[in-house]
Chains A and B, each alone.
Chain A
Amino acid sequence: MLDSLMLLAALLVCAAGMGWFALSMDVHWEQVRGKAPHPRALVKTLRVLGAAALFVSLVLCLAVDSASMAVLVWLMAVAGAAVAIAFTLTWRARALSVLVFWAGPARR
């Protein structure tokens, strides 16, 4: 049970990480946040957050399974997360605003 929850967490954190990476790109930022400013410092923060999230997700995978299996789970989770974020950007882009909840309202 705990293992399943940890793996679920790994998937969610992984998706958040890919979401942050996407938000660090101008095109996707605009899709999600409209004309809200996208300063360089924020871009950097988003990238750091993205990398940290992917790392945390890997650690969670390693905590559940042996290293050889955990690496496979993590690589596939990254792929799944990337697809999920890409499709969210296509059809429900604004939903990703939750990932930058501290940055104030979007501007359209």
Chain B
Amino acid sequence: MFQNFRLSMAWLHTWFGLVLGFVLIVVFFFGAMSVFDREIDRWSIPASRFEPQPMPSFDKLLRPIFEDMQPLEPARAAMRDHVNGPLPDKFTVPSSWGAYTTHRDPVLSLFVGYEVPNAKLPETNIFALRTVDPRNGTALPDDRLKVGSGFFYPLHYSLTLEWKNLGYWIVGFAALMMLVGLVTGVVMHRKLFRELFTFRPNKSTQRSMLDMHNLTGVVALPFHFFFAFTGLVIFAGIYFPVAHTQLEPLHEQHEVIDAQKTGLPHDRAGVAAPIASVDAMVAEAQRRWAAKGMAGDVGFLSLVHVGDRNGYVSVYRAGTDRIALTGEGIHFKASTGELLREDPPPTVVGRINEFLTGLHLQHFRHWLLRWLYVLGGLLGCVCIATGFLFFVEKRKRQHAKQHSNGARLVDALAVTTVTGMLIAALGIMIANRLLPDVMPAGWPWRGDMEQYCFWGVWALAMAHAFWRTAPVAEGHLAPAWREQCLAIAVLAVVAPVLNWITTGDHLLRTIGNGYWPVAGIDLFMLTSAGIALLAARKLKQRVAVDAHANVTRAEVNHA
């Protein structure tokens, strides 16, 4: 089919890179934003702007909250198709309670899983979620959106396409093909090391775009490879769902045997039992960690088979000081507080898995590494964006001669996914500050409205991109790029200003108080505004050069 191996690799790289690049740039960008998801949450929910808190008292504070939690309407609506008959008004048999926190969380996320009576499949659970202020137990309103961990983060791994898990599959396929893209890219690139440090902005656009594409691809190659790979590892259970398809009986049997081995009951006994002091169990767990020289905070606290004689409490240490998310699980009998089991050190395979997933999910405390991850993610975005631009530059003049719209189409989609995506991201931040505190009756929830604004703004940016890329069809530079850069520059100033007006948290105050989660987001947006302005100016110069070149070319043709 192709003359040689290199050409076939180039074909693969070009076409898969082009099509999946539109997905990957979204994954990369919102992945980079998710590195600071908790901080974006602080920005978007002003009531949560205080210092991170340790796990609060279970007995005094958490228990009554857990007992009060019931699934909300969206969860109930999603469950209706999985049940024979109607759903009960109130769920009464909790299968698990859980609370997860990290060293960056001022507010605490809680979940309760309830057994669903008359469910079509066994072991069906319905979940109630709530976020509380751990200092006093006040619940955050349910209609609020944590823009970072509740929207940018799911966008990163599932594009928020929940229907039949479609989003996970698209992102997974894109990640798999990205690994292929990295390998084919290395094969195509003849001067991997010789041009490692080469970026020549003054050469032709095509050449300088390729320079930048190679530079950002190669220097962060380990990052690109590891993040695509570990992302696939994290969702391996979705991509290879054998545990709940072909091997379901084996999986069930394994769970039962595992329960016998660990002494942690697999099923409820069906006999009610009280819950002993969980605070005492947490204190005992912390004492045991300290005795091992691993004193630490509680990261994850869970109760299984709540209120049953077989109920147990698991206390996990937060992975603040290492890659693994949590660990050193210690389990107690819920009714008596008797120690059931102390998890042994993980096996080698377990350790590798913890490392691979932990390095991607990064709940550790390391601000430098966090920023370096943002850098890696943004380098990935630049690599993909310059890939698009190279594709367009290489073809646009030829397409113009052939009266083909191919280059224009790609350029419009590139504008949509590069600058348009930034405009949409700023759009949700601005909507977050502008929407009324509580939406009027009959309107969707505030958090939903914010998401609609995001998609609406993105659709507008896309329409603009398709409209203002017309000159590409004649071989010129699209004005859409410059105009959207200007839009970014304006919006990225508007958002911090709105934050100031609506919350009173201007930069002088947040920096003065050392409240970096909010100050950092504001500064990040202001920096983006500066870069966008610079880009717009450069693009204007390009237009002038382009026009001049065209005039000269026309004169030459006339002569």
Given contacts A68-B323, A79-B376, A83-B219, contact A73 B197 (CB under 8 A): no
**B375 at interface (Cβ–Cβ under 8 A)?**
yes
Cα-based distance from A79 to B377 in the complex (angstroms): 12
Contacts of A69 in B (CB 8 A): 322-323, 364, 366, 369
Query: Contact: B372 with A73, CB < 8 Å?
Result: yes
Identify the stretch in B90-98, B198-206, B444-452 within 8 Å (CB) of chain A at 4 or more residues.
Answer: B198-206
**B190 at interface (Cβ–Cβ under 8 A)?**
no
Given contacts A66-B321, A68-B323, A69-B366, contact A86 B198 (CB under 8 A): yes
Partner of B219, one of A25, A73, A82: A82
Contacts of A75 in B (CB 8 A): 222-223
Given contacts A25-B194, A87-B199, contact A72 B219 (CB under 8 A): no
Given contacts A69-B366, A77-B372, A79-B375, contact A90 B200 (CB under 8 A): yes
Cα-based distance from A86 to B196 in the complex (angstroms): 8
Query: Contact: B369 with A73, CB < 8 Å?
Result: yes
Q: Which of A60-108 contact B (CB under 8 A)?
A: 65-66, 68-69, 72-73, 75-80, 82-83, 85-87, 89-90
Q: Which of B317-344 contact A (CB under 8 A)?
A: 321-323
Query: Contact: A90 with B376, CB < 8 Å?
Result: no
Query: Contact: A28 with B364, CB < 8 Å?
Result: no
Contacts of A27 in B (CB 8 A): 198
Partner of A89, one of B197, B220, B369: B197
**A22 at interface (Cβ–Cβ under 8 A)?**
yes
Query: Contact: A68 with B368, CB < 8 Å?
Result: no
Query: Contact: A86 with B222, CB < 8 Å?
Result: no
**B425 at interface (Cβ–Cβ under 8 A)?**
no
Query: Contact: A79 with B194, CB < 8 Å?
Result: no
Query: Contact: A28 with B366, CB < 8 Å?
Result: no
Number of A-B contacts defined by CB within 8 Å? 71
Give the shortest distance, in Å, between B368 (CB) and chain A (any CB). 5
**B215 at interface (Cβ–Cβ under 8 A)?**
yes
Cα-based distance from A105 to B453 in the complex (angstroms): 59
Contacts of B223 in A (CB 8 A): 75-76, 79
Residue interface bits B517-534, CB-to-A below 8 A is 1, else 0: 000000000000000000
Residues of B in contact (CB 8 Å), total 27
**B409 at interface (Cβ–Cβ under 8 A)?**
no
Query: Contact: A86 with B322, CB < 8 Å?
Result: no
**B379 at interface (Cβ–Cβ under 8 A)?**
yes
Residue interface bits B390-429, CB-to-A below 8 A is 1, else 0: 0000000000000000000000000000000000000000
**A58 at interface (Cβ–Cβ under 8 A)?**
no
Partner of B379, one of A66, A78, A79, A89: A79
Query: Contact: B368 with A73, CB < 8 Å?
Result: yes
Query: Contact: A65 with B366, CB < 8 Å?
Result: yes
Contacts of A11 in B (CB 8 A): 368
Task: Choose among B197, B198, B200 the residue with the greatest number of A CB atoms under 10 Å from its CB.
Answer: B197
Contacts of B196 in A (CB 8 A): 21-22, 82, 86
Query: Contact: A80 with B375, CB < 8 Å?
Result: yes
Complex: chain B residue closest to A85, CB-CB: B197
Given contacts A73-B366, A73-B368, A79-B220, contact A90 B201 (CB under 8 A): yes
Complex: chain A residue closest to B322, CB-CB: A66
Given contacts A7-B368, A69-B322, A73-B368, contact A82 B197 (CB under 8 A): yes
Query: Contact: B375 with A72, CB < 8 Å?
Result: no
Complex: chain B residue closest to A89, CB-CB: B197
Q: Which of B162-194 contact A (CB under 8 A)?
A: 194
Cα-based distance from A22 to B321 in the complex (angstroms): 35
Contacts of A66 in B (CB 8 A): 321-322
Query: Contact: B321 with A86, CB < 8 Å?
Result: no
Query: Contact: A22 with B369, CB < 8 Å?
Result: no
Q: Write the residues of chain B forming the contact surface with A, with a CB cutoff of 8 angstroms.
A: 194, 196-201, 215-216, 219-220, 222-223, 321-323, 355, 359, 364, 366, 368-369, 372-373, 375-376, 379
Interchain Cβ contacts under 8 Å between A and B, 29 examples = A11-B368, A21-B196, A22-B196, A66-B322, A68-B323, A69-B323, A69-B366, A73-B369, A76-B223, A76-B369, A76-B372, A76-B373, A79-B219, A79-B220, A79-B222, A79-B372, A79-B375, A79-B376, A79-B379, A82-B197, A83-B379, A85-B197, A86-B196, A86-B199, A86-B215, A86-B219, A89-B197, A89-B199, A90-B201
The 6 A-B pairs at the shortest CB distance, nearest first, are namely: A76-B372, A82-B219, A86-B197, A79-B220, A22-B197, A79-B219
Given contacts A79-B222, A82-B197, list 11 more A-B pairs with CB under 8 A: A21-B196, A72-B323, A76-B376, A80-B372, A80-B375, A82-B219, A85-B197, A86-B199, A87-B199, A90-B200, A90-B201
